[in-house]
Each structure stands twice: as C-alpha cells, then as structure tokens.
C-alpha cells in the first residue's frame, strides 16, 4: 500500500499516484491495481480516496449547481440557455415563476426572457443522455438586470469563493458590490456605481491569474483598497 505522490503535488495525466487498496476518486483512474491521474492538477488524499483537483477544464453541469447563462434561443415551451458547457441547457416555461396562466409560444415567452438576456438559474437535471435542465424558481434566481460580468475558468470558482466563503465575502465587503459566482465560471458584480463593479471584476481576474500564489487574499484586498481609494479621492 503506497502513495507515490505527495499531497498537493502537481501531477500530469498518466502520473502514478498510488498503489493498493485506495479508491480512485475524481480525475483519477485505476489500472492493474494502481491509481493514475487523468488530468493536470493537484493530487490529494481524502480518507481512503485519491483525487486530483483540476487546474483547468470545461464546465460539466452538476445537479443543484447555480449557473449564469445567456438565453440563446426561444422555443415553443421554453428557452435554450448557453451556460458555457459542452451542452446547451433548457429552461422550460414551467420552471419559471411566471408560468401560471401562460400559454407559451414564442411571442409570449419573449415577453419574459429574450435572446441575449442573462439569467441566474439552478441545474435540476443532467445526465449522459440529455442536456441540462434548469429552473429559475428559487430565491434570487431569474433575469439579471444590472451589473458587470466576468468570465473565468470554472476550475477557479472555488478560489473566488474561498474556504467557507472567505474570499468572496472579502470581495463584496471591500468593493461594496453584490457578487454572484456561477459554478460555470460566469460571475456578476452589481454595485451602486460602475467603478465599484469594475474594481470587483479586476479583482476577480487577478484571482484567476494568480490563483496559485502566496498571500493572494491580502494582495487582492490591498489592490481593491488602492483602487477604491483612488475613486473616492477623485470625487
């Protein structure tokens, strides 16, 4: 029973992680009693399970994920939503709070949401045989009306949120904006003025670029404070 990779070691596809009775977790696979990495990422051991935390990769929807998507088409009974995944998502009329008493049909639907609108939705179904299904029946879900959008790699979203929400809480507090981070890598920052939103978005891109460096939280905080200071002084 041997673990070959150190915890938090950077591993490449095909790299040997462990031998023996471990479980092959996410982004690993088992072959001839050995466990190998399938993606570039950081190896970790959780109890008896070997996993690799990926550094990059496409967004693959999971049940209950919150996602920010763009309406890309309107059908007879719902909308097609681009959630930056390899699969277009569907938002049926019946999964929106406005569906009561509506007959459906393109003209009716376009009164609620049109092509180009940005929506915050939740994934309610997704499997190998069909495209993801969304709902906007839920608190805070629905059409986004103002704010600035940032698009980053979905693998970096956990870093934006931080452990127990520490990073995103700091971002909101320091920039005075409300920040919604979709699991699919799309983030909205809404503030009272566009300057706050711009600083929030810059901070988000900074975190994405420097996700794997020391003392990031402090540096981002310092950057925001500098930027926000500049704005108030000018006014």
Partner 1 sequence: MSATRQFSPVAKLEQKTVVDLIQKGKRLDERGALDYRPLTIMLGTVEKANGSAYVYLGKTKVLVGIKVETGTPFPDTPDEGILTVNAEFVPMASPTFEAGPPDENSIELARVVDRGIRESKAIDLKKLCIDPGKKVFMVFVDVYVLDHDGNLIDAAAMAALGALVDAKMREFEVKNGELKYKDKMVPLPLLNHPVSITSSKIDGTIVIDPCLEEEQVMSCRLTVTTDKNDMVCAMQKGGLGVFTPDEIKQTVSISIGKARELREKILSKVN
Partner 2 sequence: MRNDPSVQLIDNKGLRVDGRRLDELRPIKLEVGVLDKADGSAYIEHGKNKILAAVYGPREAHPKHIALADRAVIRCRYHMASFSVEERKSPAPSRRELELSKVIREALEPAIMSEYFPRATIDIFIEVLQADAGTRCAGITAASLALADAGIPMRELVAACAAGKIEGKVVLDLSDIEDKKGEADLPIALMPKTNAIGLIQMDGSLSEDEFKQALDLGTDACRKIYEMQREALKLKYHVAKEEIEEEVAEVKA
Q: Which is nearer to partner 2, 110 or 217 (CB)?
A: 217
In the chain, at which residue ranges do the beta strands (DSSP E only) sit? Answer: 2-3, 10-11, 16-19, 23-24, 28-31, 34-37, 41-46, 49-54, 66-74, 78-82, 89-92, 118-127, 130-135, 142-143, 148-151, 178-181, 186-190
Would you give the binding string for partner 2 spanning residues 4-43, x where CB under 8 A is met?
A: ----xxx-xxxxx----------x-x------x-xxx-x-
Q: Cβ of residue 226: shortest distance to partner 1, in angstroms?
A: 15
Distance between CA 107 and CA 113 in Å, rounded? 10
Residue 213 binding partner per list partner 1, partner 2, none, with a CB distance cut-off of 5 to 8 Å that depends on partner kind: partner 2
Query: Would you state the torsion angle of the CA atoms of residues 12, 13, 15, 17, taken in this order, to the nearest 10 degrees?
Result: 90
CB atoms within 10 A of CB 23: 14
- Rounded to an integer, what distance in angstroms lies between the CA atom of residue 139 and that of residue 124? 15
CA distance 94 to 107: 16
- The least CB distance from residue 192 to partner 1, in Å, is 14
Q: Which of 25, 45, 54, 176 binds partner 2 (CB under 8 A)?
A: 54
Tell me the C-alpha distance between 139 and 208, whole Å.
Answer: 28
Apex 126 CA angle, 125 and 128, nearest 5: 150
In whole angstroms, the minimum distance from the beta carbon of 197 to partner 2 comes to 23
Contact between 176 and partner 2 per CB under 8 A: no
Residue 172 CB, nearest distance to partner 1 (Å)?
A: 19
Point out which residues bind partner 1 (CB under 8 A). 70, 72, 82, 115-118, 144-149, 194
- Of 50 and 150, which CB lies nearer to partner 1 in the complex structure? 150
Q: Show the site string, 87-106: x = touches partner 2 by CB under 8 A, - = not.
A: xx------------------
Q: Where are the beta strands (DSSP E) in 83-162?
A: 89-92, 118-127, 130-135, 142-143, 148-151
Of 80-88, 90-98, 176-184, 191-199, the segment contacting partner 2 by CB under 8 A is 80-88
Write down the least CB distance from residue 146 to partner 2, Å. Answer: 28
| Residue (72 or 217) nearer to partner 1, CB | 72
Helix, strand, coil percentages, rounded to 5, for the chain: 30, 35, 40
Q: Does 211 bind partner 2 (CB under 8 A)?
A: yes
Contact residues toward partner 2 (CB under 8 A) are 8-10, 12-16, 27, 29, 36, 38-40, 42, 54-58, 60, 86-88, 128-129, 155, 159, 162-164, 166, 211-217
């Amino acid at each position: 029973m041997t673990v070959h990779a150190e915890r938090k070691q950077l591993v490449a596809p095909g790299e040997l992680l462990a031998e023996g009775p471990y479980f092959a977790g996410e982004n690993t696979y088992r072959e001839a009693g050995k466990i190998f990495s399938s993606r570039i990422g950081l190896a970790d051991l959780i109890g008896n399970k070997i996993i690799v935390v990926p550094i990059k990769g496409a967004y693959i929807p999971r049940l209950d994920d919150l996602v920010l998507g763009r309406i890309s088409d309107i059908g007879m009974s719902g909308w097609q939503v681009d959630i930056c995944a390899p699969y277009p998502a569907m938002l049926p009329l019946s999964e929106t709070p406005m569906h009561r008493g509506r007959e459906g049909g393109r003209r009716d639907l376009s009164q609620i949401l049109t092509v180009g609108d940005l929506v915050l939705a939740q994934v309610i179904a997704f499997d190998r045989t069909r495209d993801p299904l969304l709902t906007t029946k839920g608190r805070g879900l629905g059409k986004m009306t103002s704010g600035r959008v940032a698009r980053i790699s979905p693998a970096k979203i956990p870093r934006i949120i931080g452990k127990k929400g520490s990073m995103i809480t700091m971002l909101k507090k320091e920039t005075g904006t409300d920040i919604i981070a979709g699991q699919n890598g799309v983030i909205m920052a809404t503030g009272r003025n566009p300057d706050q939103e711009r600083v929030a978005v810059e901070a988000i891109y900074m975190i994405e670029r420097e996700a794997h460096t020391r003392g990031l939280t402090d540096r981002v905080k310092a950057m925001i404070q500098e930027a926000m200071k500049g704005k108030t002084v000018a006014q």
